[in-house]
Structures are given as structure tokens and as C-alpha cells.
């Protein structure tokens, strides 16, 4: 994926939205791409089947009206944040019904009504990658609808923005490699950044490696794409490979980490923890994931 033309950014609230907008702007400028901001507004009528027994029709109606008001308020806040950001950054805003211009950075804002986990993958499938704002807490990371909808149902990579706006553009890229199909999918997704970066490093660890190509073969693969990379065997810290990967990224001053996601089941990682969950909860840099 050397060419990036369209980036999808789904937003459901204003939490961590500034960091996501900033990273999206940086990506749009880097690739002269279009940043398509998408807000899926829930339909309050969907609450009716969930209301349960014991509620009168009037009570259900009140619940739906309250949900509609909250949804309208949230939509206004998100749209206001978008308009403020685009104005401050002097970036071209294109109406969603209009074709975005090629060869220059631009943004659009679209509001749809429906179910987020259904609509986001639909639009992600025809985007080069999806950028998602970072959830705040571990519980929210584990249940993030947008993140997991893209990972499991779009066939496209996802970039998780950090909690705070990044200070630097992406110059140094780390690729966490363990030989799996998931890490190979992430490798294909990160080529666009690696091919325009100053330094690239492949991280590997014997305790992380699975059956498949080794790190040296990844370096050779990148060289075939004109990308010079080195490799580092990282030490295992307290038997925690997620912590080891992030520590190696910090030592390298990396601006982006690429890795496969959920080689083990999502339920297992939710209950027992895992590399994907640790990185999602503790990373302070953008993380590209794929599976």
C-alpha cells in the first residue's frame, strides 16, 4: 500500500478527538490524501427492544426522546470540533456529496444514522486505512466498537491515534514481527509510511516468534520495495512482550508502530490480557494494526 488517497476517521464523541484530527491532518498532508470524518449517530428508536419488561409505553418514549436529545447534542459538539479544527489548520473542506480533489489534502464531514459497528466497516472497506481516536480506559479499549469493527470486518488496516496530539510527523517506524498472517497484513499496511520514513526497524523476539518467515526475511522483503531497514532482537521484560515492544519503540524514538492484532482470540485477551491489549492500553505513539 504505497499510495494513500482516502483515510476514514470515525468519531463517536469529542474525547481524544483533537489528537485524532491532528494525526489525520498530518497523514492527509503527507500523502496529499482525503480525510473522511464519519459520525454515526445512533437511532433512539433502537432502544425500544432493549427497554425490557416493566416499563410503560410513556417511559419507553421518554427514554427514546432522551437518547435522541443526547445524540443531537453529541453530533453538534463533534461537528463544532471539526469546523474549529479545519478552520485553524487552513485545510480544504469538501462537502461529502462532492468528489474530493486529487493531489491535495482535504477533509469532509458526514453524519449517518444507524449502528456504528455495521456502518463503519462498510465505509472502511473502500478506504486505504481507518484512523480511530484512542479510548481512555482499558475497559473501553477492549470494547471499542469502531476499532474492532474495522479490525474484524473491513479487511483494511487501522491506525489507533494516541491520547494526545503528536508533536512530530512520522520519521521512524517500528515493525513488530512474529511471522503470523496478522503481522504480515500489518506489514503490507505500513509500507506507505516506511517508504517515506527516515529509519525503519524490525523488532523480533524468540518468545514472540511463531511459525513463519523470520525478521531477516522481512528486511529483505522491505529492500525489494526500496526500503532500508535494520532488525533488533528485543529482550523480554518481565515475560511481557507487549511491554518489551513498547520499550524498544521508545529506545528507537519511533513515531509509528506496526503489528498484527489478536493472534489469540479477542475474548481470551479480554479475560487474560495479551500483546494486543497491552499495546492498545499503554502505547503513547500511533499504532497500525491489522489481522
Rounded CA separation 182/259 (Å): 8
- Condensed to tens digits (0 to 9), the pLDDT of residues 266-275 reads 444 443 347 8
Are the C-beta atoms of 184 and 152 separated by less than 8 Å?
Answer: no
No. of H helices and E strands in the chain?
10, 11
Phi, psi of 137 (to 5 degrees): -105, 165
Secondary structure of residue 255 in the 3-state scheme? coil
Q: Where are the beta strands (DSSP E) in 198-255?
A: 199-204, 230-233
Phi, psi of 260 (to 5 degrees): -75, 155
Which residue segments constitute the domains of the chain, with CATH numbers given? 6-46+73-160 (3.40.50.620), 172-290 (3.40.50.620)
Q: Which are the contacts of 230, defined by CB distance < 8 A and separation ≥ 6? A: 199, 200, 201, 202, 219
Secondary structure of residue 261 in the 3-state scheme? coil
pLDDT score for 234: 93
pLDDT for residue 21 is more than 70: yes
pLDDT score for 266: 47
Are the C-beta atoms of 205 and 175 separated by less than 8 Å?
Answer: no
- Condensed to tens digits (0 to 9), the pLDDT of residues 207-261 reads 777 888 999 999 999 999 999 999 999 988 887 889 999 999 999 999 999 999 8
Amino acid at each position: 500500500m504505497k499510495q494513500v488517497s482516502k483515510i476514514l476517521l470515525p468519531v463517536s464523541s469529542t474525547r481524544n478527538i483533537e489528537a485524532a484530527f491532528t494525526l489525520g491532518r498530518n497523514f492527509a498532508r503527507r500523502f496529499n490524501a482525503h480525510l473522511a470524518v464519519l459520525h454515526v449517530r445512533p437511532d433512539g428508536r433502537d432502544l425500544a427492544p432493549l427497554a425490557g419488561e416493566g416499563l410503560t409505553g410513556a417511559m419507553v418514549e421518554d427514554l427514546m426522546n432522551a437518547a435522541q436529545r443526547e445524540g443531537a447534542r453529541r453530533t453538534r459538539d463533534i461537528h463544532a470540533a471539526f469546523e474549529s479544527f479545519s478552520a485553524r489548520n487552513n485545510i480544504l473542506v469538501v462537502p461529502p456529496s462532492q468528489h474530493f480533489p486529487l493531489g491535495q489534502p482535504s477533509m469532509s464531514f458526514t453524519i449517518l444514522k444507524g449502528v456504528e459497528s455495521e456502518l463503519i466497516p462498510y465505509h472502511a472497506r473502500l478506504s486505504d486505512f481507518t484512523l480511530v481516536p484512542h479510548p481512555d480506559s482499558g475497559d473501553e479499549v477492549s470494547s471499542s466498537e469502531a476499532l474492532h469493527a474495522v479490525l474484524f470486518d473491513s479487511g483494511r488496516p487501522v491506525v489507533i491515534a494516541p491520547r494526545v496530539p503528536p508533536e512530530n510527523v512520522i520519521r521512524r517506524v517500528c515493525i513488530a514481527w512474529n511471522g503470523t498472517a496478522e503481522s504480515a497484513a500489518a506489514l503490507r499496511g505500513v509500507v506507505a509510511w516506511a517508504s517515506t520514513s527516515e529509519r525503519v526497524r524490525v523488532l523480533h523476539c524468540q518468545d514472540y516468534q511463531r511459525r513463519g518467515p523470520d525478521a531477516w526475511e522481512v528486511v529483505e522483503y522491505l529492500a525489494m520495495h526500496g526500503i532500508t531497514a535494520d532488525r533488533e532482537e528485543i529482550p523480554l521484560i518481565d515475560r511481557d512482550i507487549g511491554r518489551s515492544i513498547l520499550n524498544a519503540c521508545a529506545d528507537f524514538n519511533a513515531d509509528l508502530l506496526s503489528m498484527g492484532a489478536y493472534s489469540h482470540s479477542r475474548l481470551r485477551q479480554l479475560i487474560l490480557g495479551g500483546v494486543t491489549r497491552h499495546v492498545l492500553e499503554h502505547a503513547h505513539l500511533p499504532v497500525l494494526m491489522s489481522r
